[in-house]
Amino acid sequence: MYIYYCREVFKILKEIGSGVIDLGLKPSNETLIGVYGIASVNYALCLYSAWPYSMVPFGIYDSLGCDGVKFIIKQTEVKLIFADNLQRVRNLIEWKDEALALKIVVSFVEPTDELIQLAEEKKLKLLTLDKLREIGRNNLIEFVPPKPNDIGVIMYTSGSTGEPKGRKTNIFI
C-alpha cells in the first residue's frame, strides 16, 4: 500500500485541477465535475481536486442504475467525468448523444484502441488521469478558493421514488 504525504497530495490536486482548467473548464462554482466509480484513492483525489478551484464535484454510482446515471449526467450538464474502469468509460462513450453536454472523459486506466476510436466518433476527448496530471503539471494554475457560501458537493439519492435527486451541500461554512 502506498502512503501519500500532504505535500504530495497538494501537488496532485493542483495537477488535476490545473489540467481540468487547461482543457477549457472554468475555475468556478458553476463548473460541475463527475466522478464515476467506486471509492478509491484516485476517486478521492479527483473529488478533492475540484474544491481548490471552486468547482463542484459529484459522485456517480452504479447503484443508481443505468437510467439514473444517464439522468444525472443529463441533469447536471456535466462536461467532464472521471471514470475508474474501462466498462464505465465505455458506458459514457456509448451514452453520449446530442442531449448530453459531456465533452471529456478521464480514465483511471489506459483505454483500448477501440474505446479511443469510439470516443473520437462521438467527438469526446478521452484521456488518462496520468495524461491529465501531465497537462496540469505543465500548465499550473493558482488555486481559486471557493467563497464561504459556495456549493461544495452534490450528493444524489438512488431515486427509489422516481428520478435521482441531487442535494447541494455547502461544506465551506
Instruction: For residue 70, give the CATH number of its domain.
Output: 3.40.50.980
Domain holding 140, by residue range, is 6-159
- Our count of domains for the chain comes to 1
CB 83 within 8 A of CB 105: yes
Is 127 contained in some domain?
yes
CB 49 within 8 A of CB 13: yes
Closest Cα to residue 151, out of 61, 49, 28?
28
Q: What is the model's pLDDT at position 43? A: 97
Q: What is the model's pLDDT at position 172? A: 56
User: Which residues in the chain come in under a pLDDT of 70?
Assistant: 159-160, 171-173
Neighbours of 128 (CB within 10 A): 14
Is 28 contained in some domain?
yes
Q: What is the model's pLDDT at position 159? A: 67
Q: Hey, what's the cell of 52?
A: 481548490
Q: What is the model's pLDDT at position 171? A: 63
Neighbours of 46 (CB within 10 A): 30
Is 114 contained in some domain?
yes
Residue range 33-47, pLDDT digits in tens? 999 999 999 999 999
